[in-house]
Amino acid sequence: MRVIALLVRAGAVVVVAGFLFSLVVDGGGEPVVTVQSEPVPLETTVPPKPTAAGAEPKTPSGVVTIAATGDIVMGSAPNGGRSLFSDVQADLAGDVVLGNLEGTLSSEGTPPAYAARLLDAGFTVVNLANDHTYDFGTTGLQQTISALDTVGLLHTGRPSEVTIQRVGQIRVALVGFSSDPWAASVTDVARAKRLVRQASRRADVVIVSMHAGAEGADRQHVRPGTERYRGENRGDVVRFAHGAVDAGADLVVGHGPRVLRGMEWYRGRLIAYSLGSLAAYEAGSLEGPLSTSAILRVILRGDGTFETGRLVPTRLVGAGVPALDRTEAAHGVVRELSHDDFGARGVNVTPDGVITR
């Protein structure tokens, strides 16, 4: 099903093409959007998460299928961006399809009409916590949010913002972080953990999107400690990701370094430290590791536990257009980096892309 267009107002509840949308305001005064989509049949029963008081609530029936990508720079791609995602669109499918939107959808940036291209490609939510959301100040950010709201595309990443998407009986919380002052902070780990705990109390599954880590072709390895880029503190990605899981995150999706990084199992949850750039239209050098990326496809159960996962290898071609990578380079890159950087905690990626422990 596809939502054609939706303008959400505070307190409204609207049914469009089988989806139930509502908008409320959280305790911090920030908007919280919820989306009710069609239920998914339950095939596996697992023990539920215990609550803080020790009680064991019923696990919501169903599973959540997730597709997540790294950075998305749409620029002013030809044909109004209509063909930008055509080669990878089949893999941008799921209950929750998450990407990191670099730049603005504004009169001075990427045209606001390109919001519809993201929706057409399959995205259900985009992260706005990154270093380019404020390229044109408050006006550019407001125009971006308006463009996304107009087509019914969810977004997250502002301070205190928790976005809720409903998948059948399952409430999925999405929270975005970066090192930028207009976003939820990736450098203030204690504050980030409080926000993730808030999301965990209100949802069954929590997905954290982190725009963090130094950029460049030589920045594929994850190292302990604070990473800096051009003098800026880009966060301690390991400390942040582990803190997010400790606070209740079930999946952490990283982006920002513009290259693939390894993946780690931590307390049974999957952390993907960087998925590279899905799209980078006319956004600079695309040589070597900068051209290799991936789409992460994951199925989580109703209590957030990992069911299955697969890595879909992609590559930037031409002026920065995403394409499926027939050489499947991402599989070997992530496998090697995961083992080198995390040892026994690193994921294994089979030759056909299946993620295993």
Shortest CA distance to 148 belongs to which of 130, 127, 175?
127
Distance (Å, whole) CA 187 – CA 179: 6
Distance (Å, whole) CA 78 – CA 271: 35
Phi, psi of 251 (to 5 degrees): -150, 130
Show the low-confidence residues of the chain (pLDDT under 50).
Answer: 1-55
Shortest CA distance to 196 belongs to which of 153, 257, 261, 245?
245
Predicted local confidence at residue 286, as pLDDT: 84
Secondary structure string (H, E, C) spanning 224-270: CCCCEECCEECCCHHHHHHHHHHHCCCEEEEECCCCECCEEEECCEE
Predicted local confidence at residue 45, as pLDDT: 26
Terminal alpha carbon distance of the chain? 34
Distance (Å, whole) CA 158 – CA 8: 18
- CATH superfamily for domain 29-45+57-356: Metallo-dependent phosphatases (3.60.21.10)
Predicted local confidence at residue 4, as pLDDT: 32
Predicted local confidence at residue 5, as pLDDT: 34
